[in-house]
Chains A and B, each alone.
Chain A
Amino acid sequence: MARTAFAFLAPTLVYFAVFYGLPILMDLAMSLYSGTAFLGRGGRFVGLLNYEILFQDGDAVASIVRTLVFSAGIVAISVPCGLGLALTLNADVRFRALFRAIMFFPYMTSMVIISLVWSVLYQTEAGLLNVLLEAVGLPKVGWMTNPDLALFSLIFMTAWAEIGYNMVLFLAGLQGIPGEFYDAAKVDGAGSWNVFRHVTLPLLAPTTFFCTLMSIILSSEAFTQVFIMTRGGPAKATELFSYRVWETAFNNASFGYAAAMAFLMFLGLFVITVFLFRGWRTEVEY
């Protein structure tokens, strides 16, 4: 039995060892070297120097803060909107399947396409969004060119793409709530807001946790939209940490430093996950 098991597992184990285990260890090793160790000549062992530099690198720290804002913004938009759509579409609505499909589809679409379409919509001179603003008598806005606004524009677009994903998970969560809970609440004379606040929302806590976590993980790895739409600009306003990792490694060839950045990203996500998980547990045990 054990022999068959390992024979069947062998390709998978080799795969995970070579394409996960090895790279993770390599990243850690590279992060202890300067310059282009392993990927070219030079590079010497510098210990934790890359990490020290990282915390003193104002631009890197700024990009970490920016990524946190980006993630928080996406969670703040896509989780409530996903829940709202799920509540609306969990009810008996005409063309329900069609509505669900329309809401979910952006999630299946390549970020390249989404970036291209929103680039057109966000155009300053005559993008449709500014045309709309002008039509109601407001001034034009530099959606992608104003440094104060560009990150928000990216947040909105990325959240837009993720709403459908959250909606589907919330729909599944809603369908997992037994009808008796609602009946009991009705017998007690609870209004629909109270039912939502005290029955639906607490019972959906695991889904909310999962959606939040997934949104944070996805947004911390957002790269394509920055690469295509802004290249981190204007004035670094949209330079997310993930983009900076790529830039440091593949534009500046500072592989050691970039490896340290990537490892920090992993640690950060790990801490956030543990933190969220703890919070969720105390929330649910009541």
Chain B
Amino acid sequence: MVWKAVRYPILAVAVVVMGFPFYYMLAVSFATDAQIHWFPIPVVPRQIAWENYARIWDVAPFGRFFLNSLLVAGCITFLHLVFDPLAGYVFAKFRFPGREPLFLVVLGTLMIPFFLRMIPLYWLVVQIGWLNTFQGLIIPFASSAYGIFLMRQFILPLPSELMDAGRIDGASELRIFTWIVVPQLGPALASVGLFTFVYQWNNFLWPLLITSSMDMRTLTLGLTFFYQEGYTRWNLMAAASMLLFLPIFVLFLLAQRFFIKGMVTSGFK
């Protein structure tokens, strides 16, 4: 009974703790230059400096950063959506020597911290001449054990008779995959696609390592430019953060259940 009584107070505290930083970012983004010098930056701004959102474009080419992020995260997501289902399909429905060990090796890569690959990946990119290129940002992240695993889990329960029927009708294997298997994968594709996109959209370390010119920077890197000017213009930085924040926020609002389903399926079962 005590439990029931404290439930809403607990939730109220949790909502403030978890949600307030986001609200405050919005409030800071509307603060005037004078207000960011007279800390604290007001929680409820009395005057709203809309012009902050126009001024960020003078600090750095945020439009370009935005497009770079979109292109990189978009291409990586596309590659995942092509290759993860293919591999997942093979691991779920094909019998061939070495399947189990191969699958274990792929799954095992989940245990590999990025830092173990970081320096040699950098070396590799230098060798191929991909420093400061889109290929260099995209190709090293073209697939993941997570996506393959999720696809395999999703394809396993599909009846094999469906694919056999296709074979009897004389359809090629690629045709069976694209016309019979892929149409069943809607929710799994949504989960993998959304997760991959968000993860890559937020990626910071890799673009930091391999991009060097303004026109190749991504949005996450662009935001750090506000720090390099002696004092930090918090209001402009918060306004620019919205460029990074809003696409994910909208995606999340539209497709929350796919995010959660994807996470839960990858966790167990």
Q: Which residues of A contact B (CB under 8 A)?
A: 1-2, 4-9, 11-13, 15-16, 18-20, 22-24, 26-27, 30, 38-39, 84-85, 88-89, 91, 93, 97, 99, 101-106, 108-114, 116-121, 123, 125-128, 131, 160, 163-165, 168-169, 172, 192, 206-207, 210, 217, 220-221, 223-224, 227-228, 242, 245-246, 249-250, 255, 258-259, 262-263, 265-266, 269-270, 273
> With A4-B94, A9-B87, A168-B260 in contact, do A265 and B119 touch (Cβ < 8 Å)?
no
Asked whether any CB of chain A lies closer than 8 Å to the CB of B100, the reply is: no
Using Cβ atoms and an 8 Å threshold, which residues of chain B touch A169?
263-264, 267
A207 to B267, CA, bound (A): 8
Chief secondary structure at chain A's binding surface: helix
- Tell me if B204 and A93 are in contact (CB < 8 A): no
Using Cβ atoms and an 8 Å threshold, which residues of chain A touch B11?
88-89, 93, 99
A140 to B227, CA, bound (A): 24
A26 to B119, CA, bound (A): 9
For window 153-189 of chain B, which residues contact chain A by CB distance below 8 Å? 173, 177
Name A268's closest neighbour in chain B (CB-CB). B113
Name the segment of B18-26, B46-54, B55-63 touching the other chain: B18-26
> With A16-B105, A217-B113, A221-B115 in contact, do A102 and B83 touch (Cβ < 8 Å)?
no
A11 to B18, CA, bound (A): 41
Q: Which residues of B contact A (CB under 8 A)?
A: 3, 7-8, 10-11, 14-15, 17-19, 21-22, 24-25, 28, 39-41, 43, 83, 86-87, 89-90, 94-97, 99, 102, 105-106, 109, 111-124, 126, 139-140, 142-143, 148, 173, 177, 198, 201-202, 204-205, 208-209, 220, 223-224, 227, 232, 234, 237-238, 241, 244-245, 248-249, 252-253, 256, 259-260, 263-264, 267-268
- Tell me if B120 and A131 are in contact (CB < 8 A): no
- Tell me if A258 and B10 are in contact (CB < 8 A): no
Q: What are 10 A-B contacts with C-beta separation under 8 Å? A: A5-B90, A8-B89, A16-B109, A24-B117, A102-B19, A117-B238, A168-B263, A246-B115, A250-B209, A266-B115
- Tell me if A108 and B90 are in contact (CB < 8 A): no
Using Cβ atoms and an 8 Å threshold, which residues of chain A touch B140?
19
- Tell me if B90 and A224 are in contact (CB < 8 A): no
What's the nearest-Cβ distance from chain B to residue A60, in Å? 14
Using Cβ atoms and an 8 Å threshold, which residues of chain B touch A111?
202, 204
Contact with B204, one of A13, A110, A117 (Cβ below 8 angstroms): A110
What's the nearest-Cβ distance from chain B to residue A50, in Å? 12
Supplied contacts A23-B120, A117-B238, 8 more A-B pairs, CB within 8 Å = A9-B90, A15-B143, A108-B259, A110-B248, A117-B21, A120-B24, A121-B21, A266-B113
- Tell me if A20 and B112 are in contact (CB < 8 A): yes
Using Cβ atoms and an 8 Å threshold, which residues of chain B touch A192?
3
What's the nearest-Cβ distance from chain A to residue B9, in Å? 10
Name A248's closest neighbour in chain B (CB-CB). B119
Contact with B96, one of A1, A22, A38 (Cβ below 8 angstroms): A1
